[in-house]
């Protein structure tokens, strides 16, 4: 399984964190949680966030497009030269039909074919939040080794990347407060997390609740837990292949052996569903029953759990 048990040897950041004026820190906000729902991100123990910078198929697709663009430009030049040539000999003597020129076109097609084959298998890595240990696993990235750090040492920011007066591509970034001891640089981990700042605050609030094992899993995450219970596998996977190529880890035994129905998802009654057996209040790995009972009451008051 993914290492979330052993915290990495850490160092402070080389420079104070300064995301600039076009970024805002994502804060916990309990005011607007009604209707917030996540259907895929957690299996009850792990919460996974896709690391955008690790998706190598994006680079490979871009390289494919670049090679085909160059090939197209060179071919158009040859077609224009074909119509402007005064004679066949004049055409053959031109640089546009020189053997090295044609060899260059062939090489462009070969490179394009190679990257087309590579881009057909999407690849990606997860930043993994572990409810059981309270730690976060950042995969090796940007010249830095794998980083395992307590959840309290991680912040999230929402802003724009490559901005021009703040009108750049909106991104969500996870920023650790400390980095691997032997890491080369302080890097931000751009992740697929939310569509807006308010959405990021709502999802971050649910994740903050999820990461405290003595609090019940928020209602907004239970559909995702049920999804993975139905599938019988974890949100995490081996390697970096995603999509139909994913090799997923099995569910944690605590989740698999103690829960079956945690969310009533068949509301159209198209099949028999044991409504009375659905357990809407679950808190796997809790080790303080008294504190858990207080937190369950608090969760109802804050609409984190629904009656």
Mark whether 45 and 174 lie in a shared domain: yes
Mark whether 201 and 171 lie in a shared domain: yes
Mark whether 104 and 151 lie in a shared domain: no
Mark whether 207 and 67 lie in a shared domain: no
Mark whether 114 and 239 lie in a shared domain: no
Please state, for a pLDDT cut of 90, what percent of the chain lies above it.
Answer: 48
pLDDT tens for each residue of 17-63? 777 777 899 999 998 888 888 889 999 999 999 988 655 556 677 78
**Of 70, 102, 119, at which residue does a domain stop?**
119
Taking a C-beta distance cutoff of 8 angstroms, is the pair 234, 129 a contact? Answer: no
Question: Is position 3 within any domain?
Answer: no
Mark whether 181 and 252 lie in a shared domain: yes
**Of 102, 119, 136, at which residue does a domain stop?**
119
pLDDT tens for each residue of 127-169? 999 999 999 999 987 778 999 999 999 999 998 776 545 566 7
pLDDT tens for each residue of 72-118? 998 998 888 777 777 777 666 777 878 888 898 999 999 988 888 87
Which letter, b or e, does each residue of 105-125 get, where b requires 16 or more Cβ atoms within 10 Å of its Cβ?
Answer: eeebeebbeebeebbeebbbb
Structural domain including 179 reads: 10-55+122-301
Mark whether 112 and 211 lie in a shared domain: no
Mark whether 200 and 100 lie in a shared domain: no
Question: Is position 209 within any domain?
Answer: yes
Alpha-carbon distance 262 to 223, whole Å?
Answer: 8
**Of 96, 119, 142, at which residue does a domain stop?**
119
Mark whether 155 and 172 lie in a shared domain: yes
Considering the entire predicted model, what is its pTM? 0.80
Mark whether 113 and 251 lie in a shared domain: no
Whole-Å CA distances, 302 to 34, 118, 202: 10, 48, 13
Mark whether 104 and 132 lie in a shared domain: no
């Amino acid at each position: 399984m993914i290492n979330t048990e052993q915290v990495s040897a850490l160092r402070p950041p080389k420079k104070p964190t300064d995301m600039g004026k076009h970024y805002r820190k994502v804060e916990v906000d309990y005011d607007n949680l009604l209707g917030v729902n996540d259907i895929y991100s957690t299996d009850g123990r792990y919460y996974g966030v896709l690391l955008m910078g690790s998706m190598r198929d994006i680079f490979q697709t871009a390289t494919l497009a670049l090679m085909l663009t160059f090939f197209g430009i060179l071919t158009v030049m040859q077609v224009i030269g074909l119509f402007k040539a005064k004679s066949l000999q004049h055409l053959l003597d031109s640089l546009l039909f020189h053997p090295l020129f044609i060899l260059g076109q062939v090489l462009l097609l070969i490179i394009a074919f190679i990257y087309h084959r590579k881009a057909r298998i999407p690849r990606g890595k997860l930043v993994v939040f572990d409810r059981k240990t309270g730690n976060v696993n950042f995969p090796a990235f940007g010249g830095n080794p794998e980083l395992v750090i307590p959840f309290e040492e991680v912040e999230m920011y929402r802003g724009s990347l490559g901005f021009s007066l703040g009108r750049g591509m909106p991104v969500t970034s996870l920023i650790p407060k400390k980095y691997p001891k032997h890491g080369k640089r302080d890097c931000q981990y751009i992740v697929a997390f939310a569509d807006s700042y308010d959405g990021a605050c709502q999802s971050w609030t649910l994740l903050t609740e999820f990461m405290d094992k003595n609090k019940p899993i928020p209602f907004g995450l239970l559909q995702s837990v049920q999804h993975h219970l139905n599938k019988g596998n974890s949100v995490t996977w081996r390697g970096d292949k995603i999509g139909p190529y994913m090799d997923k880890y099995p569910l944690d035994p605590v989740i698999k052996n103690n829960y079956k129905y945690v969310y009533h998802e068949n509301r159209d009654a198209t099949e028999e569903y044991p409504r009375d057996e659905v357990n809407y209040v679950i808190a796997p790995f809790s080790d303080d029953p008294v504190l858990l009972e207080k937190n369950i009451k608090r969760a109802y008051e804050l609409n984190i759990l629904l009656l």
